[in-house]
Amino acid sequence: MKKGRFDMKKFLALLLALVMTLSLVACGNKDDNGGKTGDYKVAMITDYGDITDQSFNQTTYEACKAFAEKNKVPFEYFKPNGDNTADRVAMIENAIEKGYNVIVMPGYAFGGAIVEAAPQFPDVKFIALDVAKGDLLEAGVAAKGEKYDYTPDNWDLSKYVDMSNVYCAIYSEELCGYMAGYAAVKLGYKNLGFLGGMAVPAVVRYGYGFVQGVNAAAADMSLTDVKVNYVYGGKFSGDADITAVMDTWYNNGTEVVFACGGGIFTSAVDAAKKVNGAKVIGVDVDQAGVIASYAAGEGADQATIDGYKALTVTSAMKGLYPATFDTLTDVIVNGKWDNYKGKIVTLGLVSADDPTLNYVQIPMESTQWKDGAFTKDDYKTMVKAMFDGTVKVSNDTSKAAKDFATVITVDDQGQIK
């Protein structure tokens, strides 16, 4: 055949190969509901924070981004203009208008947005992290003009909230709160503090678990002189008034404060820096690096930042990253949305032998372990006992913090703001 002449046989062969390739692509990644990975676009809506908060939003964002990159799924995050339901709903609508059909929302503040937006978009999958039944009920009851009495077990969620295209994952915060409190006392601290943000259920569970852990360790060590100062800041950020309370605590002998709630840790850190040997406990993620960076100040060199890492005794952590990544994988890649929709699932301990696999834990790397006091092996033994049910931790938020104290003293100071 002369050069340049059209070869019909080769053309038909190439065309057939192209058709077969496209057919394989079209059939690939099908889920058990008949969908395909390519049908999905993931959007994350931030709550009152940003994806650089080195906490809840950032961890969720990084998990979404990693999932999207691994599975070649389009992803974008949206930040509401203000800290209110209307602005959160506006961002959800904005994302959906752009074609995003899986909406990831971190934080209890999305209760109202779910109640309002989810029924309007039945074909969109809503995945909420840390949004509990009470958060949804409060918003749903209010939307109907009724009064909510904050006893979620007595309410039928289905009467107030359409969960048909919603999945919520919440955490057993009391378990990692317990771990942090137990570790702190075992490591030698007897005067402790709990500084909560707002007294929402998740923060309360953290605090009550913390008190139970402190009490258990004191009992194990036959100590009767352990004390916990207990207060809520009334907000999820630090300020001069909250720092003043922390100054009083540390100056009067408090050794370590569990700062639990968004940016409220800044007040604990600002106060701790003024007192030699004062410590803090982080929350939600391993905050040792976050706390050190804040303590060192903007523009500090790495050596200065590293020097402040000793401020953090440990952190009570939620498995935000694996919960986000694993759920997206199961829903989008494996096509198992039917296993999730309409459910509120509590994530806690899943392994007796490997604490790093659990959805609630303290960090293996940054916790200030001490030979002869509390080691990694001691921690593993404690987790196994919790997993087996030998150690039981209450999540009853209807009680007061002092109700969990049998050998320690709890000074409940109410709320600062």
HSE-CB for 76 with a 13 A CA cutoff: 15
Its CATH class, for the domain covering 37-171+323-331+335-345, is alpha beta
Which residues lie closer than 8 Å to 284 by C-beta, 6 or more apart? 55, 56, 59, 315, 316, 317, 318, 320
> DSSP code of 205?
H
396 pLDDT higher than 50: yes
Q: 171 — phi, psi (to 5°)?
A: -125, 155
What is the average pLDDT across 242-260? 98
First to last CA, the chain: 89
Q: What is the pLDDT of residue 34?
A: 41
Residue 48 banded pLDDT, cuts 50, 70, 90: confident
- Intrachain domains 37-171+323-331+335-345 and 173-317+359-415 with the same fold: yes
Of 163 and 154, the structure prediction assigns the larger pLDDT to 163
Residue 300 in tokens: 């500090």
Ranges of each domain in the chain: 37-171+323-331+335-345, 173-317+359-415
CA 284/CA 363 separation, integer angstroms = 11
Q: Which amino acid is at 400?
A: A
- pLDDT, one tens digit per residue, over 98-142 is 999 999 999 889 999 999 999 999 999 999 999 999 899 999 999
Its CATH class, for the domain covering 173-317+359-415, is alpha beta
Residue 149 banded pLDDT, cuts 50, 70, 90: confident
Residue 5 in tokens: 């002449």
